[in-house]
Structure 1
Amino acid sequence: MLDSRPTRSTELPHLESLLNAHKLCFNDLESQGVELFSVTKDNKPVGYFGYEVFGENALFRSFIVVPEEQGKNYGVHIWNMAKEQLKERKVKHVYLLTNTATDFFAKVGYTLFERAQVPESIAQTSEFVTFCPSDSICMRYEIE
């Protein structure tokens, strides 16, 4: 069984290293408003995810399964954990930017979304403004 908890500051170097190795945004993980979570199985790291919440909208970010645990369907389980957290927070629309995981996110229900149409609160995040390339693919998930 997978468990999630807020990421500890001592885990940030590991998370940053993983994200950097996979060419994912890691520059602003400690910024105000970024909430990060560690996912473990038997107290062993399986993956991480994060988000920023802006009322009914959220930016999903910093999502990764540790390399030695990939291919075990943990990504879907981790997304479902994140989705339940966001649902409890009354989030209705979840946005993300990706260059590498479009197929995965489509598989779990995200759809392509025009980057220029995201809410201003999302468009003004450092991930949208500074850290993700302008050719990143924007996607949206609707929480029911």
Structure 2
Amino acid sequence: MLVDSGLPVEDLDAAHIDFLIAGEGGETFGVIGLQSFGQVGLLRSLAVEAGGRGKGTGSTLVDALESHARAAGMRQLVLLTQTAEPFFAARGYAPIARDAAPQAVQGSAEFRSICPASATCMSKDLQPR
């Protein structure tokens, strides 16, 4: 699904990423990943199959990932996107300069080499619920 969505998979064998999956009846139609850097998480790889789009699957996955991140003690989420800035902005993520991201996140393969410099960097502070 990630490859079909044009998302990077080069570092998935080396990076520790928790994936949350949306599905029904044995069929997977959505996925999102979270790479942990202590109190900061890197939101990775949100993908929804064409048949699941427009039904709130992406929003549900982001909400679940944010809850998972909060439960793990994370205070901030950062992401890189080339195509979904409006989607994430509607969910409270704000653009930041790439070099303003926490150092640990900047050291990830996603930041160093996988995502192009033209990708928009976004961040969201997680408030405890």
What TM-score does the superposition give when structure 1 sets the normalisation length? 0.83
Residue 120 (structure 1) aligned to one of 103, 114, 117: 103
1:40-97 per-residue CA deviation (whole Å, 9 max, x = no partner) reads 2343212011111111101000111112111111111111111110010010110000
Deviation of 1:113 (Å) = 0.9
Residue pairs, 1:30-41, within 5 angstroms: 30-41=13-24
Aligned match of 2:53: 70
Question: 1-side partners of 2:118 and 2:12: how far apart?
Answer: 21
Letter in 2 for 1:131: I
Question: 2-side partners of 1:31 and 1:55: how far apart?
Answer: 17
Structure 2 gaps, min length 5: none
Aligned match of 1:80: 63
Deviation of 1:22 (Å) = 2.8
Deviation of 1:138 (Å) = 0.1
Is 2:126 the partner of 1:143? yes
Assess if the C-alpha contact under 8 Å between 2:15 and 2:35 holds in 1: no
Letter in 2 for 1:97: L
What TM-score does the superposition give when structure 2 sets the normalisation length? 0.92
Size of the aligned set, in residue pairs, is: 127
1:120-144 per-residue CA deviation (whole Å, 9 max, x = no partner) reads 1100000000100011000001110
Deviation of 1:38 (Å) = 1.8
Structure 1 gaps, min length 5: 1-17
Instruction: Select the structure that is richer in helix.
Output: 1
Q: Secondary structure at the match of 1:140?
A: strand
How many percent identity over aligned positions? Answer: 26
Deviation of 1:36 (Å) = 2.0
Is 2:85 the partner of 1:129? no
Question: 2-side partners of 1:21 and 1:134: how far apart?
Answer: 22
Letter in 1 for 2:60: H
Q: Secondary structure at the match of 1:78?
A: helix
Question: 1-side partners of 2:8 and 2:93: how far apart?
Answer: 19
Letter in 2 for 1:143: L
Residue 27 (structure 1) aligned to one of 1, 7, 10: 10
Residue 108 (structure 1) aligned to one of 85, 91, 100: 91
